[in-house]
A = this chain, B = another copy of it.
Amino acid sequence: MNKKERAAPREVRMADVAKEAGVAPITVSRALSTPDTVAPETRRRIDEAIQRLGYVGNRAAGSLKSRRSNLVVVVIPSVTHHSLASMIQGISEGLAPTGYHLVLATSGDSREEEEKILRAFLAQRPCAAVLHNTVHTDECRRLLLQSGIPVIETGDLPPEPLDVAIGYSNFEAARSMTAHLASRGYRHIAFVYRWAERNERTDERIRGYRAAIAQAGLPSDDGLLFGSDAGVAGGAQTLRRILAERPEVDAVFFTGNDTGAGAILACRREGWAVPQRVAIAGYDDTGLAICLQPTLTTLRIPRHEIGGAVADTILARLAGREVARRQDLGFELCVRESS
């Protein structure tokens, strides 16, 4: 066994492909990135050479030279929220046919964590950034603006987005649901948010709730705001707590993931008639809502579509097209038996 055989097999480079195909490296580069600018016959020879040699391009080299990668970085609080997973799925599907890839990190709703993640992400020289948060540390804002890449915020629609905001109005959604409950004649409407999620989205929803309460001429009462654990079990437990502490409550608006469904199940178990004893409303229209008894009144937020719009907007921006700075994809009030 001589030295040649023992040496680590050198990586197949673009130059090797070029030699094999009898062209210059740059022609291979063009055949890969802009096939239309290369003669079909040349392209064919290059494709064959790539096949024969098993060539796999090196994006690190390409990114270094071109000063930009094909990575889209995404920072979300958590993947396990069904709503966020839907959005990610939408982005993923939108980017799949393109050459861009999705780099994901979870911040757990901490602005400091977001900043830390972002700093590391920017070292990848991403071509775009997606943030679910709309409130950031000053340093974050500085880093993002300085990077010069498209930045998409998806959590809410702030009046002045950092760059582009795509989503819906948490304020309007919560106001709309609360107004619906008030219009049905409920007088003691409780509002439930997730403990772990006291962020700007929650704040906006509380603002919306208060606005509707005021408009309906009902008394403002912060004792009707309740924190809750997430999930079905959290919702069930919180409903029991609410009715124990404030028996006059006749409607509850659950804004946490699946908590509304949990409340319906708790009512069945306890024998509380819905909506006669207490009306229930949920946030995010998952498949569960229409299978419950009674069916659950919810807000349908177009999470998957938001993801798709994020992908489209990134692609448009990278192609140099103008895009709307604020894209409101709205929401839908799904009134069902529980209210």
Chain A positions within 8 Å of B, measured between CB atoms, are 11, 54, 56-61, 63-64, 67, 69, 71, 78-80, 82, 85-86, 88-89, 92-93, 96, 99, 101-106, 117, 119-125, 143, 146, 231-234, 236, 258, 261-262, 265-266, 268-269, 286-288, 290-293
Contacts and interface: CB of A to CB of B under 8 A. Distances in A.
A92 B64 contact: no
A291 B56 CA distance: 51
Contacts of A265: 291-293
Contact of A119 (B56, B58, B96, B287): B56
Contacts of A291: 232-233, 236, 262, 265-266
Contacts of A120: 99, 101
Contacts of A57: 123
A207 to B, nearest CB: 29
Most chain B beta-carbon neighbours within 10 Å: one of A69, A103, A124? A124
A104 B120 CA distance: 17
Contact of A56 (B56, B123, B290): B123
B287 A258 contact: yes
A65 to B, nearest CB: 9
A106 B125 contact: no
Nearest to A87: B79
A101 B89 contact: no
Given A92-B106, A101-B120, A103-B101, A69 B80 contact: no
Contacts of A11: 67
Contact of A63 (B60, B105, B293): B60
Given A82-B82, A89-B78, A233-B290, A59 B123 contact: yes
A274 to B, nearest CB: 14
Contact of A287 (B102, B105, B117, B232): B232
A98 to B, nearest CB: 10
Given A64-B60, A122-B56, A123-B58, A89 B79 contact: yes
Contact of A103 (B71, B93, B288): B71
8 contacts: A54-B146, A60-B64, A79-B88, A101-B121, A102-B105, A265-B292, A266-B291, A268-B268
Contacts of A122: 56
A112 B297 CA distance: 41
A8 to B, nearest CB: 10
Contacts of A261: 288
Contact of A59 (B56, B79, B102, B124): B124
A33 B311 CA distance: 33
A106 B96 contact: yes
B63 A92 contact: no
